[in-house]
Structure 1
Amino acid sequence: MHAFLPHAMLLGIGATALLDLWNLALHRLFKLPLPPWHFVGRWFAGLPRGHFVHRNGIAQSPPVAGELAIGWVGHYLTGIVFAAALLLIWGLQWAAQPTFGAALVVGLVTVGAGWYILQPGMGVGVACSKAPNPNLARGLNIAGHVVFAIGLYGTALLARS
């Protein structure tokens, strides 16, 4: 058990960092907006106060002190939780002998966390249904989680050597 948390942290941080590099590349190459981590932080900050849904959109909710930092920390903690889920399901031995299939399953299944928890909570609707271009947003969500899966797998391979 003492190896579980360090492995989950390493895998989650590595995979999330690759996702951030992906988002930066999309921003620089295609001028797509960067993820609004300050709004994610605002959403996370509301949870302890019982504010789970921002019906009029998170942008209409009052700013919270430190929301950008809260968003970034929440983003990386979420990556660690998803990596921990992978290790709980496939076992710690997965980190020693990683398979891309397991990482891809986790990557694709966790799209649901954004579609059914975060996005409705931020007032964007289920699976970005209220976004200006829902299909583009959904496609980017799926692609991002595939990149996250590549990050899980790649980090595990790098950590083995």
Structure 2
Amino acid sequence: MHLDHTSHPPAIFIETYGCQMNKYDSELIQSILEEAGYVFSTVPEKADVILINTCSVRAHAEERALGRISVLSSWKKASPKRKLGVVGCMAQRLGEALVQLKPYIDFVVGPDGYRDLPQIIRDANTRPIVHIPQNGEEVYQGIFPALDSGVCTWVTISRG
């Protein structure tokens, strides 16, 4: 386990909005974070970290996500150690502007930066982190999405 937490690793909750690719990316993010020793909560109220994964392609999804982020400001205020992150293509599109719009966001990570999430979550303590690498070559080779117990899954044909 890569975490430095003496009592327990932070519990993560991922909320996914938008396209099917975001569902796949949420499963990919879960796999990356589980490998780093994080655990997952089934309810946001019990999470130490909430990730909002949303796309910019579907305007309704972006509007819903921005509304939810506003609601989560009270969740953040209830415990200053909690962290709120926004990931996905909306994060990539808005970048620093998202943190300026919602200053209680701890980190913003674009689709090519998911491998760095374990470190970003650890480091996002004193100032917001905006991590929007755009190398165009990240395909997350060797990382398999965390699958739920359902009979369906998503398969990536291309990214971007």
Q: Same fold (TM over 0.5)?
A: no
Greater RCO (Cα-Cα under 8 Å, separation 6 or more):
1
More strand by share: 2
Higher-helix-fraction structure: 1
